A and B are shown apart, each in its own frame.
Chain A
Amino acid sequence: MLFFSELTGRPVYSESEHVLGVLEDIIFLNEDTPRVTKITVSHNKLRHEIPVSSIRRVNGHVAIVKAAAVRASAGNELSVKKVLLDQQIIDLVGNKVVRVNDVVLMDAPNLSISGIDIGPLGILRRIGLEQTAQKAAKLLGFTIGQQLLSWGDVSNLDLEYGQIKIKQREEKLAKIHEEDLADYLELTNIQNVHKFIGTLTPKKAAEVLQSLNVTYQVEVFAKFENNKGAELINLIDPDEAVDILLAINRIHRDKIMQLLPQDKRKELHQLMSLSRTPVGKLMTSEFCAVGSNETAKDVLVKIKTQTGNYSFLSAVYALNRDDQLVGVFNLHELLLQSPDTQVYKFMIPEPTRALLTTPIEVIMYKLLKYNISALPVVNRDKKLLGIITIDDVSELLLKKIP
């Protein structure tokens, strides 16, 4: 997670480490998922736009640019500085709610806008006093929470007419605190994903659905009517379909199964019986989990004190206040951070995960597909139960090789 104010004014480097100028503005597409399309770089009062495709990395503070080619503007491209930053946010009936103090960006999978900072921390960050204020608050024994508004709550139709309108009445506005942030952003994406899938042809929709991770799949799927659900299940790869069917509740599952064609139903039943494979027995509890609002320094201390006797550690998992899994980061990413950076700022939100009911074949497939050495296992409430490492399944994998 990045903030717009942390990127503006930062130097932008070319591939040959040459300073091209400083980042001044960000241009995005006004869509449900507002992808960033360009950045504006200014150098000696001259401005030029660089398409996001030629940016190699937007990591914390620096952007490294390959050969830059300028493209013409699309019709629905908007500038963060002009239409978002400092502008008034109103509710459905036109009441003033608050102003945009900062803009939240996500850099994975694509650089896009994920929310709006409406809290006092946003103002403090803009004037460069965020850290100081946090330290002062800590001394006085309280913390200043982030108050963020998810992009899913902003009506992007009105944005084109220069209004930032939220889709709720002011009284209902949920102000989110940082612990719940990752969770909330994920929720937004589910709404967006669901909306998006609804507009696609069934075949395309199935493709999109199976490319999501299991928790997404289940939550998005739960929003569909039974008919639509059965139609999608029929089109999805059988192993993914089993994953989804096992995660939704029994009544819902039975109803959908009845709506499926005969042979499909048979195939899925067979696969589901495989899920008796005890994931729980393969799972290890040797993992390291931290709060998403802890700092990099806290995490290092935790690793040193708690994981000394572990045989294996490659990733650290981030939990929110309710102990739900919200992010992951590897040790390399951790070492790159400055000691005071909080976990939620650099973790990868929405890690791939498995449920206790997930067939072991699916777990092996995921470990190999995503090229990761461990897969977190969560229960239905998204609480982290343990991890399955590539070591744990290596014997089973060997058996599969003829």
Chain B
Amino acid sequence: MKRRILIFLGVFGPATIAALADNDAAGVATFSVAGATLGYPILFILAIVTPLLAVTQEMGIRLALVTRKGLGDLIREEFGVKVSLLLFIGLCIANMGTIIVDLAAVKTTSSLLSIPAVPAIIALTVISFLFVTKGNFKVNQNIMLTVSLFFLSYVFSAVQAKPDWAMAFSNLFYPHGVRADAEYVRNYFIIGLGVLGTTVTPWGQFFIGSFAFDKKIETDRLRYSQIETYAGALLTSFFSASMIVATAATLFSRGIPLLSGEQAALAMQPFAGELAGTLFAVGILNAGFMGVVIVALSTAYAFTEFFGVAGSLDATFTKSRVFYLTFLIQILVAGIIVLLPFVSLFRLVIITQFANALLLPVILHYLLKLTSDPSIMGSRVNNAFQRRFTVGAMILISLSSVLAIIFTLAK
């Protein structure tokens, strides 16, 4: 038993970090708005999305550990250069959007905490870059895991908000307890897709495999990594649920609308106490840092895989120059865009969500095809449940994307 725990601790990291990074600043904003606008019933969507996150992430880590290659490597080798180039461009756009949204959240939140915005963004860029270039894999992973402890601040905020626990729990199984008029249903769709889109992400599919590969986890440790994947998905959703509960208990129950997620910290202070609000804000800053680093890393990893150049957190800057530059350029460009006063961040959020929603079913399609191919996976191909569940999810995501686009345009 002791040995098993040690092995588990040895493989621990990639799946948890990949899952927790889903609660990046953009994620926090989405969950806050979801809780404030829709109340507890949106928890039902979260309960559906969690197994989807677990199943897809498990496929990603299994693929990486069995083939010793990343998703980008395999797509290039199996499906050729055209598909690779299109997917990489798509991923670049979607990830760029996500990084911008994360930095924007940092900008807004830092001004709430009366930290000047411009130095905050510059500091974040510099820290992210030093963090990635100077640290090796182990150090970086441990910093990310430690930083993840800040997510506990949401749990604290949720408890402080004194929610109706019975309502919250029962809504995990079926949505109820609100008056569902047309307006509510429409918002439920749009925000529900946002919840899905911020939890199961295109970059997440690439990141988990690359990161597990960079950690050099052995194939025979697969069992442990799978357990970590499931646990990570549960933990992430637990934090997401905390954010929803915190805003549902304070803002939705009093009918206070929330226009942007970052305002949540301020809006909930009167009802949950100053400490809860401040913790919520600190949580957003932390989530912004996590999101920026991990999303930018996933683009950099994907680039090295699609085009076969060297790239690892353990490599020096000169050796993996392309890898680190891909990382840096994204953050720099995002930083500049966020600081430009005339760029409409609201529109960027919408575009990013659409880009992610369009890309996700395509990436899941390739992930599913690769993990169902016995010539690649050997005995570790998907079972019937994994195949059907993912196909169902892909159809669901595509359909709801179309619906959400229609609803957004009709609004």
Contact = CB atoms under 8 A, between A and B. Distances in A.
A96 B81 contact: no
Interface residues of A, number: 15
A87 interface: yes
B174 interface: no
A86 B81 contact: yes
Nearest to A128: B82
B122 interface: no
Given A86-B76, A86-B77, A96 B85 contact: no
B81 A97 contact: no
A101 B77 CA distance: 11
B80 interface: yes
A96 B82 contact: no
A123 B84 CA distance: 10
Given A98-B309, A99-B307, A127 B77 contact: no
Contacts of A85: 80
A127 B81 contact: yes
B309 to A, nearest CB: 6
A127 B82 CA distance: 6
Contacts of B82: 126-127
B76 A97 contact: no
A70 to B, nearest CB: 25
B375 to A, nearest CB: 11
A170 interface: yes
Given A88-B73, A96-B304, A99-B76, A126 B310 contact: no
A369 B61 CA distance: 65
Interface string B69-80: 000010011001
Given A97-B308, A97-B309, A87 B81 contact: no
Contacts of B308: 88-89, 96-99
A87 B77 contact: yes
A86 B76 CA distance: 6
A211 interface: no
Contacts of B81: 86, 101, 123, 126-127
Contacts of A98: 307-309
Nearest to B322: A98
B311 interface: yes
Interface of B is mostly: helix
A96 B310 contact: yes
A127 B76 contact: no
A53 interface: no
Interface in A373-396: none
Interface of A is mostly: mixed
B277 to A, nearest CB: 47
A95 B322 CA distance: 14
Contacts of A89: 308
B302 to A, nearest CB: 13
Nearest to B86: A127
B362 to A, nearest CB: 17
Most chain B beta carbons < 10 A, residue from A87, A88, A98, A126: A88
A86 B73 CA distance: 9
Nearest to B82: A127
B304 A127 contact: no
B70 to A, nearest CB: 11
Contacts of A170: 310
A96 B310 CA distance: 5
A55 B304 CA distance: 39
A88 B306 CA distance: 10
Contacts of A97: 308-310
A96 B309 contact: yes
Contacts of B310: 95-97, 170
B319 to A, nearest CB: 8
A213 B307 CA distance: 39
Query: Top 10 nearest A-B pairs by Cβ distance?
Result: A99-B308, A126-B81, A96-B310, A98-B308, A88-B308, A86-B76, A95-B310, A86-B77, A127-B82, A96-B308
Given A85-B80, A97-B310, 20 more contacts: A86-B80, A86-B84, A87-B77, A88-B73, A88-B308, A89-B308, A95-B310, A96-B308, A96-B309, A96-B310, A96-B311, A97-B309, A98-B307, A99-B306, A99-B308, A101-B81, A126-B80, A126-B81, A126-B82, A127-B85
Interface of A: 85-89, 95-99, 101, 123, 126-127, 170
30 contacts: A85-B80, A86-B76, A86-B77, A86-B80, A86-B84, A87-B77, A88-B308, A95-B310, A95-B319, A96-B308, A96-B309, A96-B310, A96-B311, A97-B308, A97-B309, A97-B310, A98-B308, A98-B309, A99-B76, A99-B306, A99-B307, A99-B308, A101-B81, A123-B81, A123-B85, A126-B80, A126-B81, A127-B82, A127-B85, A170-B310
